[in-house]
Amino acid sequence: MELGGRLEFDDGRYYIGALNDLKPHGLGVMYNANDQEIYAGEFYKGDETTGVKTFPDGAIFEGHLQTTNPHKGLGVQKSAHNCVNYYGEYSRNDEVTNGILRIRNSRCKYSGSIMNNLPHGFGYLTYDCFNLYTGEFVNGKRHGIGQLMTTTYGRATRNRRSRSSASLNAFLDDSEDELAEDVELVGCSSFRSGFTLDLRSREDRDKLMDEELEEDGGFCVLRSTSDFIDPRATEIYVGEWKDDKRNGYGMVTRNNGSSYQGQWKDNKRHGYGITTYADKHVELGRYLNNKLMETTAPSRFNGVSAFRSTVAEAAKIAEEFPEKVKRLEEEMKSRHYAACNKAEKAMEYQIRARNYADDARSVAKQCGKDDNVFVLDQRTWQPKLEEISPQL
């Protein structure tokens, strides 16, 4: 039996629109007990299919929902507070999906595996200042192995954020650990890599070493100096990440010829590694929180010491990561293509959902004038006959 009217549920929700066998079927609108729209669009035998759905937290989904599983679908989800749009597979459960994340009014974009509206798995993240990270994520943080390519400092842009959240922090550059309320960020910091390489000449550096080198408990301590990155320099870091920071083994190279291969901790050189400066001076060292604690030049000893062997081993491990990232990217290529395809399809469903929602509101407005009112048991979808009313 097809008709139009109003269904009232014992939990306070009510529906106005097309009906079939006393179930929403066709176009209509579902409201909560506070008369707020929670879904507008197409229904099929009581199930939401294609339309616009509003969640209690304020998030909005525009797209298609599976009739067999209303917690899954394909479309565009807009978060309530942190201005993140998600295009792709939809899931309200803790499941990994494929799609694209974007921050509204920003160039930030992530494409790849996603869980709970956060990068999770393998993907590509383009920052607002055009830096690009390719690699693994866990719960929105860079974690695993990955590659970060930076642009020149001159391409940095100023962006104003108004809210701090995990999903926004996923789009931060290395210059900031987290977003604070109403903080003005520079998208590309002059300390992008988390460490600084001295750009002075070798003679000036050697003079500085002589002045600052001092004995402390039998080993050398070299105080760190305040150096800045050439604003024209670009760099690539490839290696291990933990909790969104460079931790473990990795290597960084800059287009001015400077580089570092070795161990890292919290975005700083920490452990053993090899630093090559722009003037081709090579430094084998042991670092502690970016400070050079012990060093030797490659030409200082003819033999192979334990120190030099340890440094060389750390550098060798770090140099293996470009190939590891390349292999990982090749393995995950199909998933990335799937994410892009899902996002494209999601935008098509978004347009259709908006059109259905507009039509559904028109139908609801018309059906709201009818005298058909049915009070249903939420669990059985059966009418409570004694409560059927002939008018609204």
Instruction: Give the tens place of pLDDT for each residue, 239-253.
Output: 999 999 999 999 999
Position 226 scores a pLDDT of 30
- Closest among 1, 61, 9 to 25, alpha carbons compared: 1
53 pLDDT above the threshold of 80: yes
123 pLDDT above the threshold of 70: yes
**94 band by pLDDT with thresholds 50, 70 and 90:** confident
Alpha helices in 234-377 (DSSP H): 306-319, 321-331, 333-367
**223 band by pLDDT with thresholds 50, 70 and 90:** very low
Residue carrying structure tokens 């306070």: 12
Contact (CB, 8 A) for 4 and 372 = yes
Asked, for residue 248, whether it belongs to a domain, the answer is yes
Position 370 scores a pLDDT of 65
Position 378 scores a pLDDT of 54
78 pLDDT above the threshold of 50: yes
Taking phi over 0 as left and psi of -120 to 50 as alpha, with beta for the rest, 84 belongs to: beta
Among the ranges given (132-136, 281-285, 298-302, 333-337), the one the predictor scored with the smallest mean pLDDT: 298-302
374 pLDDT above the threshold of 70: no
Across the range 268-274, mean pLDDT stands at 95
Q: Residues 6 or more apart from 15 whose CB is under 8 A from it? A: 6, 7, 9, 24, 28, 29, 30, 31
Instruction: Give the tens place of pLDDT for each residue, 145-185.
Output: 999 998 754 443 333 333 333 444 444 455 433 322 222 22
Which residue range(s) make up the domain with 197? 2-374
**4 band by pLDDT with thresholds 50, 70 and 90:** confident
Quick one: what percent of the chain has pLDDT higher than 70? 70
Top-confidence residue, 222 or 250:
250
124 pLDDT above the threshold of 80: yes
Asked, for residue 190, whether it belongs to a domain, the answer is yes
- Closest among 188, 322, 213, 317 to 264, alpha carbons compared: 317
> Phi and psi at residue 328, in whole multiples of 5°?
-60, -45
**Whats the size of the chain, residue-wise?**
392
219 burial (CB, 10 Å; 0-12 / 13-18 / 19+) is exposed
Quick one: what percent of the chain has pLDDT higher than 90? 47
Position 161 scores a pLDDT of 37
Query: Where do the DSSP E strands lie in 66-156?
Result: 72-78, 84-91, 97-103, 109-115, 118-126, 132-138, 141-149
Position 162 scores a pLDDT of 35
Position 167 scores a pLDDT of 40
Position 119 scores a pLDDT of 93
Asked, for residue 381, whether it belongs to a domain, the answer is no
Asked, for residue 268, whether it belongs to a domain, the answer is yes
Q: State how far the alpha carbon of 55 is from the alpha carbons of 37, 59, 62, 63, 294, in Å.
A: 10, 5, 11, 14, 58
How many domains are there within the chain?
1
Contact (CB, 8 A) for 310 and 316 = no
Position 72 scores a pLDDT of 86
Asked, for residue 380, whether it belongs to a domain, the answer is no
- Closest among 163, 191, 196, 162 to 175, alpha carbons compared: 191
> Phi and psi at residue 157, in whole multiples of 5°?
-130, 150
**192 band by pLDDT with thresholds 50, 70 and 90:** very low
105 burial (CB, 10 Å; 0-12 / 13-18 / 19+) is exposed
Position 383 scores a pLDDT of 55
Instruction: Give the tens place of pLDDT for each residue, 310-356.
Output: 999 999 999 999 999 999 999 998 888 989 999 999 999 999 999 99
Among the ranges given (96-100, 128-132, 292-296, 343-347), the one the predictor scored with the smallest mean pLDDT: 128-132
Position 297 scores a pLDDT of 61
> How far, in Å, CA of 65 to CA of 222, rounded?
62
Top-confidence residue, 220 or 268:
268
Top-confidence residue, 71 or 55:
55
Asked, for residue 314, whether it belongs to a domain, the answer is yes
The DSSP element (H or E) to which 210 belongs, if any, is helix 202-212
Position 343 scores a pLDDT of 94
Top-confidence residue, 278 or 52:
52
Asked, for residue 152, whether it belongs to a domain, the answer is yes
Query: What is the identity of the amino acid at 362?
Result: S
Query: 168 is written with which tokens?
Result: 């926004």
Q: What number of other Cβ atoms are within 10 A of residue 284's Cβ? A: 23
DSSP secondary structure string, 95-112?
Answer: --EEEEEEETTS--EEEE
- Closest among 78, 83, 24 to 346, alpha carbons compared: 78
Q: What number of other Cβ atoms are within 10 A of residue 368's Cβ? A: 14
Asked, for residue 175, whether it belongs to a domain, the answer is yes
100 pLDDT above the threshold of 90: yes
116 burial (CB, 10 Å; 0-12 / 13-18 / 19+) is middle
> How far, in Å, CA of 113 to CA of 138, rounded?
10
